[in-house]
Amino acid sequence: MKGATPIIAVILLLLITIAAGGSTYLWLSRTQSTLFTQTTTGIEESSKDVYGRISVVSIWNDTTQLCLLIRNGSDQDITYKEADLKKMAVLVDKIPCTFNTTALSDIRQSEVVSFCIDNSTSKCRYDGTESSILIKVEPPFGNGDSYEFTYP
């Protein structure tokens, strides 16, 4: 039996080494996967900020509200999701206004969507007494646009 003890010790050391190597491999592959995912997400978010663009195509006065037609004018294949558009700021003569979010939908590059500004809030009124107003659209990422609307 004296000769069996060193053999068992060597087998145990080999099993411990294999287990440690397997654990290290699993840890490294999970870390690499996490880093890859985070890097990809970070690059996508950065490209949205750099290349994203919303353009105001036209504005018209519907009898009770002011409606806008906006275009995704991004330089790359960037989609503004409905949730992103709901976070968008719309300013009428530098005053933030609420707008109808029910008509919003995802807009891919070069697509358009229309929505209307709520005329019920007292601080955001446009009754046509001024000859023109400045509308500014600021998306949650990328660049927005300004449009001067002149009353007919």
CA–CA distance, 45 with 39 (Å, rounded to integer): 10
Q: Considering only CA atoms, which of 64, 66, 46, 47 is closest in space to residue 56?
A: 66
Instruction: Write down the pLDDT at residue 95.
Output: 84
Out of 1.25.40, 1.10.10, 2.60.40, 1.10.1740, select the CATH number for domain 52-150.
Answer: 2.60.40
Give the start-to-end residue ranges of the domains of the chain.
Answer: 1-51, 52-150
Instruction: Write down the pLDDT at residue 60.
Output: 84
Instruction: Write down the pLDDT at residue 26.
Output: 95
Q: Which pTM value belongs to this model?
A: 0.67
Q: Considering only CA atoms, which of 144, 141, 146 is closest in space to residue 80?
A: 141
Quote the mean pLDDT of the chain. 85
Read off the amino acid at residue 45: E
